[in-house]
Structure 1
Amino acid sequence: MPLRVFIRKPAEADCQELLSLHHRSKEFHFPWAFPPLNEQECKNYIDRCQNEDFEGLMICHSNSNKIIGVANLSQIFYRAFQNAYLGYYVDVNFSGQGLMSEGVRLAIDYAFYTLGLHRVEANIQPENTASIHLVERLGFTKEGFSRRYLKINGEWRDHERWALTVEDWVRTFQNA
C-alpha cells in the first residue's frame, strides 16, 4: 500500500501554513503541545531546524502536499549516545486517520537510517493516551516515569519515558 504522507524539512515559506495549522489545532493540542503561534516564533522554529542538534520534519499529505503534522527530533547526540528526543503533533483536521503513524514512522526511519542514531525517546504526559497508543503501535517500550519532568504551559508535568532502538525497529518492521 503506498504511503499517504511524506516528510521534508521546513522552509521559511511554510510559516503561514504552519501558523494556520497551529491556530486551527490550538485547543486540540492543549495541554500536550504549544507550537509557535506568531510569525517570529515560527521563523525561530525554522531557524532552529538548521542546528546540528535539531531536525524538524514536516509531515505532508502525498496527494495535496499540504502539511498535516510535524515531527521533531531534538537534543540529537552522536558519539557513544546516538540518541534524540521525538516530539510530534497533527493538524486537528487530520487526526484519527492513521496519517501521523505513517509520518512518525518515516521520521523514525530518518532518525535511524539518515542520521545514524541508535535510539529515539518520546516523553509523553500519561493522560495523552492518543500519543501513547501511537508509540506503542510503532514498537516503543515504556522505560519509566519521570515526575515533574518538563515545564509545559507554566507547570511542571509528569511524563512517561518511551524508547525505541534501531535493533527493535528492524525487528518490528523487517517484514513490513
Structure 2
Amino acid sequence: MTMPLHTDRIRLRAPEPDDIDEMWLFENDETFWENGPATGPYSRYQLKQYIAGNQNDLFTDGQLRLMIELCSGKTAGIIDLFAFETRHLRAEVGIVVKAEYRRQGIASEALRLLERHCFGMLGIHQLYAYIRTDNAASLRLFEKQGYTRIGMLKDWIRTGNSYKDVCLMQKIHAAQTS
C-alpha cells in the first residue's frame, strides 16, 4: 500500500538538481557540523554528484534524503534516513528546518510523513535519533511523535573544547513488536 508523502501544507520529495543551492546552505552551516560526522564543507559539485548518483532508494543507497517543500514551492528543510541496517530494519533519522519555518509544526508533519512511509511502505521496524540533551526543541519534537528516551550517552559530541551528552530516542513500529 502506498503512503502519500504530502499533507495540505507540505510534501516530502527527492532532491532535484535545482536544490543544490539549498542543500549547499544546509550542508555548509557550521552550526550543524558538531552534531554529525562532517569535518568540512561540501562543494556544489559534490552535491550535484550526490543527486545524480543517488537512487533515492533506502535499500539501494543505505540512506534516503527528502526535501521538505511547502505548498508554495519553497524549501523549508531536509529530512534524512541514514545508517540503515537491512538485517535489522532500522535507520537513524535526521531533520533540519530553516529558522524562519521553525515552531510552525513543519518538522512534526515531516516526521509523521516519513514515519508513515517507513513503517507502512518500507517495512522498517524502528527509527532512532541521537539528540543533544540541551536541544529542548528537538527532544520535544521526537517525544511528541511517540519516540522514547531509551538512554543517555555521556560526552558523545565534541563541541569546541568540551563535550555534550545526547539522548538516544527510539520509535518501534507497533505492528512489528515481538
Q: Report TM bin, short chain.
A: 0.7 to 0.9
What percent of counterpart residues are identical? 26
User: In structure 1, the residue corresponding to 2:123 is in which secondary structure?
Assistant: coil
Alignment of 1:123-162 (within 5 A): 123-150=130-157, 157-162=164-169
Partner residue, 1:59: 68
CA distance in structure 1 between the partners assigned to 2:161 and 2:18 by the alignment: 30
Q: What's the CA shift for 1:167?
A: 0.6
- Structure-1 separation of matches of 2:162 and 2:122: 33
Tell me, in whole angstroms, the C-alpha distance in 1 between the residues paired with 2:45 and 2:161: 21
Give 5+ residue unaligned stretches, structure 1. Answer: 170-176
Is 1:13 aligned with 2:22?
A: no
State how far apart, in whole Å, the 2-side matches of 1:152 and 1:39 are: 26
Q: 1:10 to 1:73 in 2, by over 3 A?
A: same
In structure 2, stretches of 5+ residues that fail to align are 1-6
2:172 match: 165
- Cα drift, residue 14 of structure 1: 1.1
Measure, in 1, the Cα distance between the counterparts of 2:41 and 2:69: 18
User: Aligned letter for 2:108?
Assistant: S
TM-score by length of 2: 0.76
Partner Cα separation in structure 1 for residue 161 and residue 122 of structure 2: 33
* Code of the aligned partner of 1:158: D
Residue 117 of structure 1, aligned match among 118, 124, 130: 124
Aligned AA (1:147): K
Paired residue for 2:110, among 103, 116, 133?
103
Note the aligned Cα RMSD (angstroms): 3.1
Could you tell me how far apart the structure 2 residues matched to 1:123 and 1:5 are? 25
Aligned equivalents of 2:25, 2:61: Cα separation in 1: 27
Deviations, residues 14-65 of structure 1 (Å, cap 9, x unaligned): 1023335667xx4875755779664134335536753521000111102x12
TM-score (norm 1): 0.77
